[in-house]
Amino acid sequence: MKKLISILVLGLAYLHLQATDKKPNFIVIFTDDQGYQDLGCFGSPKIKTPEIDQMAKEGARYTNFYSANAICSASRAALLTGRYPSRNGVFHVYYPGASQGLKPSEITIAEVLKTAGYRTSIIGKWHLGDRNQFLPTNQGFDSYFGIPFSNDMWMSKDLALADDIKLFGGVTVEQIKSGEASKAVKGEKRGGKVPLMRDEEVVEYPVDQTYITQRYTDEALKIIKESEKKKQPYFIYLAYAMPHVPLYASPKFAGKSARGPYGDTVEEMDYHVGRILKHLKSSGADKNTLVIFTSDNGPWNLGERGGSALPLRGAKFSTYEGGHRVPCVMWWPGTIPAGTDSAEIATTLDFMPTFAKLANAQLPNRTLDGKNIAPMLRDGNKGKSPYEKFYFWSKNHIEALRIGNMKLRMSWDKKNNVRKETELFNLEGDIAESHNLAPQMPEKVAAMTKMLLEAEQEQLVQAEFETPVPQAPSFTAATFIQSSGHQYKNVAKNAFDKNEKTRWTPKGQKNLWLQIEFKEAQTSSEFKITWEKEATYRYAIGTSMDGDNWDILLNKFGNRTRETVSKNSTSQKTYRFLRLVIFGAEKGTKIAVREFSY
């Protein structure tokens, strides 16, 4: 009998091991412009969200959860890459037909999870470039179904059209291809007529957004069921269009919310989140699926058409709490303790490292800003945040820094290119950021200001070195030189004499670079640069053996004159690539380097 019991125990242990080794599914539900208060479980007085409220009871509510940016494109790029805008290069919003997007060289969650056997799908808003090279299916996703940008935008004439495209409102293919379909009608505001895409092609134009929330959810459930049938783990990024304006709700929900049309859209999303959770429970996949509900940024300040970030200060576009802090509910029965109510800091940056850890997938060999928060999730109310600092980026600058409960904010005056004001808040007792402590705590302000400025500089510099330059062609000379401007004086085409006085005058652009690739590895302990004229830009010098992983030797900021600046290493550096980067050059500026020796 004892032998039988032992065998039974071993068998059960083996089955448990098999179950715990099963890769979890991931569903990220990402809403658009939903405010911190705009869920029942986050205190909304008029919006009813019983499904998400129940999700929080069965899982966790995180009240100090941040989106990594306060605007659409930048927040989405940060979520998918686990990197601040300074590193992934997405600082602004992309418009239809833009020549830029999320760089193909960036590695997304989808690309990481595909290496671990996951099916990867995005449904809804992409907003990281609508040209083919930037589309989701070229960024690690197996499939895409959705509106490629904000639902108030327009159709790009360059988008590929499906052979069986459905056209509405009298629109013709010829009007789309000529651009006529996206022009503003006299007396009307441009925008709001948007395409629906399947993978790389437009399948409907203009799409009727009345049922868009339902259609997105139907697509998610279809993928879930197909994956369950194939027994394949999946990652679904469900990026709802709502409650971004213009607001659309289906007839079942339109006019029902006490909060008006905005509330209608949120209550409809709540219903459809409930559909997903109910299916996971009925299929038995609930204990193997992590579902996260959160928003891309704070609410757009549009009165009744926008949401509420109360009791926080600020809204979308802002580095006050209301711009970045968003509602977040996570659900994973059996793993996340039910009823968790955590004030620990977590962010959308954490999805990449957390999912990779849980899926046993290899993280990319580059700097990530997100943290693995899996231990925090499992520990429930006892879980501790891995964060020491969190940076609030606004376009090309860090405007705020949070350390513990202290938050320093230094807003940027774009017109005059200077910091406008300095504010210091203790968020523990002042969640509304209404009491500026800066005048009373100058030492704290000075210390945090130093951290903020140094972090901004370090991240921007490192990002520039991580940005790949065009691959050099095969060359026979000792070196190959290329730059962002491709203009040279007194430089042999494919050669470089390290003692030659060289004038490098590239075309003016935001950041300028000059890279020297050596045929053979070099060893140096000193690097010198002499400017021909006075300059006020910051610059950096880095070395690399492979052109991908850089050791930044000199990171110089402030005014510079014609004097030579040198950097002596504690040990000699061996390298095949040497790069000089100059930051913040204005359009049309020409910068001359008289000597760059090593």
Average pLDDT, integer, range 95-118: 95
Residue 180 has pLDDT above 60, yes or no: yes
Compute the distance between CA of residue 117 and CA of residue 231 in angstroms, rounded to an integer. 11
Compute the distance between CA of residue 243 and CA of residue 31 in angstroms, rounded to an integer. 7
Compute the distance between CA of residue 14 and CA of residue 560 in angstroms, rounded to an integer. 67
pLDDT tens digits along 30-65? 999 999 999 999 999 999 999 999 999 999 999 999
Average pLDDT, integer, range 224-229: 98
List of residues 6+ apart from 567 with CB closer than 8 A:
526, 527, 541, 553, 554
Compute the distance between CA of residue 25 and CA of residue 578 in angstroms, rounded to an integer. 43
List of residues 6+ apart from 240 with CB closer than 8 A:
29, 30, 31, 32, 124, 125, 213, 216, 269
Residue 4: predicted pLDDT:
37
DSSP 75: H
Tokens 């940008």 label which residue? Answer: 149
Lowest model confidence (mean pLDDT) among 142-151, 186-195, 202-211, 223-232: 186-195
Q: Spell out the alpha helix ranges (H) of 28-172.
A: 50-58, 72-81, 85-88, 109-114
Q: Which residue has the higher pLDDT, 466 or 153?
A: 153
Contact yes or no for 357/91 (Cβ under 8 A): no
Residue 489: predicted pLDDT:
38
Residue 587 has pLDDT above 80, yes or no: no
C-alpha 38, offset from chain centre: 22
Show the tokens assigned to 503: 């004038």
Residue 80 has pLDDT above 50, yes or no: yes
Active site residue 72: yes
List of residues 6+ apart from 6 with CB closer than 8 A:
none
Residue 531 has pLDDT above 50, yes or no: yes
Determine the angle formed by the axes of helices 260-283 and 50-58, rounding to 10 degrees.
Answer: 50
Residue 124: burial class (beta carbons within 10 Å; 0-12, 13-18, 19+): buried
Q: Which of 72, 272, 328, 397 is catalytic?
A: 72
Q: Which residue has the higher pLDDT, 567 or 87?
A: 87
Torsion 376-381-387-393 (CA) sign: positive
Compute the distance between CA of residue 130 and CA of residue 307 in angstroms, rounded to an integer. 28
Q: Which of 127, 244, 272, 397 is catalytic?
A: 127
Show the tokens assigned to 593: 């380097």
| Residue 111 pLDDT class (50, 70, 90 cuts) | very high
Of 472, 504, 485, the closest CA to residue 597 belongs to 504
Residue 17: predicted pLDDT:
34
Q: Which amino acid, 561?
A: T
Residue 359: predicted pLDDT:
98
Contact yes or no for 298/325 (Cβ under 8 A): yes
Q: Are strands 479-483 and 550-556 parallel, antiparallel or unpaired?
A: unpaired
How many CA atoms within 13 Å lie on the side-chain side of 255? Answer: 2
Residue 495: predicted pLDDT:
34
Lowest model confidence (mean pLDDT) among 209-213, 281-285, 313-317, 483-487: 483-487
Residue 11 has pLDDT above 50, yes or no: no
Residue 498: predicted pLDDT:
45
Average pLDDT, integer, range 489-514: 48
| Residue 593 pLDDT class (50, 70, 90 cuts) | low
- Asked whether the bond before 45 is cis by omega within 30 degrees of 0, the reply is no
Residue 233 has pLDDT above 70, yes or no: yes
Angle at 437 between CA 431 and CA 441, to 5 degrees: 135
Q: Mean pLDDT over all residues of the chain?
A: 87
Of 146, 79, 134, 148, the closest CA to residue 101 belongs to 134
Contact yes or no for 349/392 (Cβ under 8 A): no
Compute the distance between CA of residue 196 and CA of residue 126 in angstroms, rounded to an integer. 11
pLDDT tens digits along 547-577? 877 888 777 654 454 444 455 444 678 888 8
| Residue 156 pLDDT class (50, 70, 90 cuts) | very high
Contact yes or no for 403/362 (Cβ under 8 A): no
Compute the distance between CA of residue 508 and CA of residue 510 in angstroms, rounded to an integer. 7
Contact yes or no for 105/468 (Cβ under 8 A): yes
Residue 9: predicted pLDDT:
36
DSSP 555: E
Q: Which residue has the higher pLDDT, 594 or 267?
A: 267
Contact yes or no for 35/308 (Cβ under 8 A): yes
| Residue 2 pLDDT class (50, 70, 90 cuts) | very low
| Residue 539 pLDDT class (50, 70, 90 cuts) | confident
Q: Give the whole-number percent of the chain exceeding pLDDT 70.
A: 82
Residue 232 has pLDDT above 90, yes or no: yes
Q: 339-355 as b/e, with b when 16 or more CB fall inside 10 Å?
A: ebebebbbbbbbbbbbb
Residue 416: predicted pLDDT:
78
pLDDT tens digits along 441-462? 999 999 999 999 999 988 888 8
Active site residue 41: no
pLDDT tens digits along 393-406? 998 899 999 999 99
| Residue 81 pLDDT class (50, 70, 90 cuts) | very high
Domains assigned to the chain? 21-151+209-387 (3.40.720.10), 156-207 (no CATH), 396-466 (3.30.1120.10), 502-597 (2.60.120.260)
